[in-house]
Amino acid sequence: MRTSSFRVKPALSDAYRSYVREARAHEVAGRIDAAWACLEAAHIIGQRATRLHVGSHVAMLGLAWRTGSLREMCGQAARLIAAALFTWLWVPRGNSGRTSVSALATAPIPRDLQAILESPREPSTARRSHS
């Protein structure tokens, strides 16, 4: 699938930023699994735009660092480089971005995220909760 880093829909960018902020709030509250789930959602939403795709891996690398997960740190560093170099060419749709999943594996996109990807409406109407 060919992707582009140009003209990211404002609704996508807003949803992406919202998930990243929500991830940080969960992390601060000690809900690390919920923080990862939000970063995975941000990754799926942003993986077709280089800036957002790289940003999701930067956020994941930061969480891996702060939680002391060496395996996740190494995996995120490699994925960050790959995202910077190859997002414009191809991405495995639906991939969560975590090291527990092959970097080349595609996955079904959850319905709530699919709605965000397909809709020009504000993301708040289709968001999932990770509380």
Q: Is the pLDDT of residue 94 over 50?
A: yes
13: CB partners within 8 A, 6+ apart: 52
**What are the tens digits of pLDDT across the range 18-62?**
999 999 999 999 999 999 999 999 999 999 999 999 999 999 999
Q: Is the pLDDT of residue 121 over 80?
A: no
Q: Cα–Cα distance between 112 and 37 in angstroms, integer?
A: 13
Under DSSP, the state recorded for 18 is H
Q: Cα–Cα distance between 94 and 88 in angstroms, integer?
A: 16
Q: What angle do CA 21, 23, 29 make, to 5 degrees?
A: 105
Token pair recorded at residue 102: 């092959």
pLDDT at res. 130: 54
Q: Cα–Cα distance between 72 and 67 in angstroms, integer?
A: 10
Q: Is the pLDDT of residue 3 over 50?
A: no
Q: What percent of the chain has pLDDT over 70?
A: 85
Token pair recorded at residue 62: 């930061």
Residue located via tokens 């999932």: 128
Q: Is the pLDDT of residue 127 over 60?
A: no
**What are the tens digits of pLDDT across the range 103-118?**
999 999 999 999 999 8
